[in-house]
Structure 1
Amino acid sequence: MSSSSLLKPLAQALVGVFDNHQQAQDNPTWFVPTRVWQYPLSQQIDGNYAIFVEQAPLLKLEQPYRQRLMLLSHPEGAPLQVMYRAFRHPEAIAGAARDPQRLQGLTSEDVLELPGCCLQIRQEGDRFIANPPQGAKCCFEYQGKTRQVELGFDITPNCLYSRDRGVDPDSGQGLWGALMGAYEYRKYDSFPLPETWT
């Protein structure tokens, strides 16, 4: 199956509302109960289909954080890719996953490129596996400091296994996120893909 024909099944698996309630209940020491929204935009960003991503503590849904965009791309002759974008003003878009009409006006001007924050996709059965290209480093500036995130996930129709973890850019030591294995987010609601996604 070509990368182009894989894009829609990948998108259908990615969009939805997820949480890791069961995992956090079983192992509260290492896994924070979290909800993740992944909402498809009807408009393209930089010529690519886009998914708005936001998360919040399950017990404090009114405190969302880590707003970002995932752009789905299938360059000719290359693997299917997920590219990440940051928001210029994340505080202005916070909470939009629960009020998606606020996403309708988003354009490329509202986001920043994140060099190195890209994943290549391969398919194994009903599972899509996303890993960074060899040697890629996802770094960004936050509160005057350079932050680094090691990105990666597996996605099936019913579950998102997130391997994202923050690391110290100097030592490589894990700081937050999937330090003891992937976060297992079960999908309990989905979103239809917009008609503009052909």
Structure 2
Amino acid sequence: MSLPSQLTDLAEYLAGEFDNKEQAIADPVWYVHLRLWHRPVNLFSEDSMTLFAEQANIINLENPYRQRIMRLKAGSDIEAPLQIQYYMPKDPGSLQGAGRNPALLDTLTPDQLELLPGCVLTVTQQKIAPHGYKFVATPLPDTSCTFTYLGNTVQVSLGFEASAAEFHSYDKGIDRETGKATWGAVLGPYRYTKRNQF
């Protein structure tokens, strides 16, 4: 089955190694200097494309965190032709460091992942400049991305914009009692620049 060209373009824009060095230097109080990896993974390849994601503080690259799987697939809505479904590794520690060491992903199978039903983004394509475009990913309306991690219930608000050279992350943790953001893109997106293409 051939995949839509928009889907393969989205995967190409997302796949890579990124950091937000310029943002962290300009505003170190609010933005930690992070490295972010999106590694292609050979899962669900019959109808979608899949990426492994994790990030690390630049001063502690040996301890990456937020391991997750992004499954990119065609959507059913003409207004939002693409969707991303998130999964969490059942044993995140077994994949820790796979951003820098992709061989750790070679034996990953779907049964090692937990589907996160409320963690879905719809993706649209928007024209920018005369010859370029970006992808904008936003949560489905009336959904909540909630999961259990290390015995705690965690709620996250997801979202991003991706162009050929940049990735802007709107991900933030939400306090379930107050509904307010507690970490992540509290004052605006983390603005990553792509340093290597995978």
Larger deviation, residues 37-46 vs 86-95: 37-46
Give the drift of 1:133. 1.1
- What is the rounded CA distance, in whole Å, between the counterparts of 2:47 and 2:9 in structure 1? 19
Q: How many residues align?
A: 189
Could you report, residue by residue, the CA deviation over 1:119-154 in whole angstroms, capped at 9, with x for unpaired residues?
000000211000011111100112322110000000
- What is the rounded CA distance, in whole Å, between the counterparts of 1:172 and 1:127 in structure 2? 29
Kindly indicate whether structure 1 or structure 2 has the higher relative contact order, using CA contacts under 8 Å at least 6 residues apart.
Answer: 1
Give the drift of 1:76. 4.6
- Identity rate, percent: 39
**Counterpart in the other structure of 1:196:** none
Give the drift of 1:18. 0.3
**Counterpart in the other structure of 2:183:** 176
Larger deviation, residues 174-183 vs 94-103: 94-103
**Counterpart in the other structure of 2:166:** 159
Q: Give the aligned CA root-mean-square deviation in angstroms.
A: 1.5
Could you report, residue by residue, the CA deviation over 1:48-107 in whole angstroms, capped at 9, with x for unpaired residues?
321010100011111110100000111455521011000000011100111111211111
Q: Indicate how the Cα distance of structure 1 residues 134 and 76 shifts in structure 2: closer, same or farther if over 3 A, else same.
A: closer
Give the drift of 1:46. 8.3
- What is the rounded CA distance, in whole Å, between the counterparts of 2:112 and 2:177 in structure 1? 30
Could you report, residue by residue, the CA deviation over 1:6-59 in whole angstroms, capped at 9, with x for unpaired residues?
001101100000000110110011101100000101343685321010100011
TM-score (normalised: structure 1): 0.91
Matches within 5 A, 1:110-189: 110-125=112-127, 126-189=133-196
SS in 2 for 1:30: coil
**Counterpart in the other structure of 1:106:** 108
SS in 1 for 2:99: helix
AA in 2 matched with 1:42: N
AA in 1 matched with 2:134: R
- Correspondence 1:11 to 2:11: yes
- What is the rounded CA distance, in whole Å, between the counterparts of 1:177 and 1:59 in structure 2? 18
- What is the rounded CA distance, in whole Å, between the counterparts of 1:180 and 1:143 in structure 2? 27
Which is strand-richer, 1 or 2? 2
Q: Indicate how the Cα distance of structure 1 residues 45 and 140 shifts in structure 2: closer, same or farther if over 3 A, else same.
A: farther
- What is the rounded CA distance, in whole Å, between the counterparts of 2:162 and 2:106 in structure 1? 26
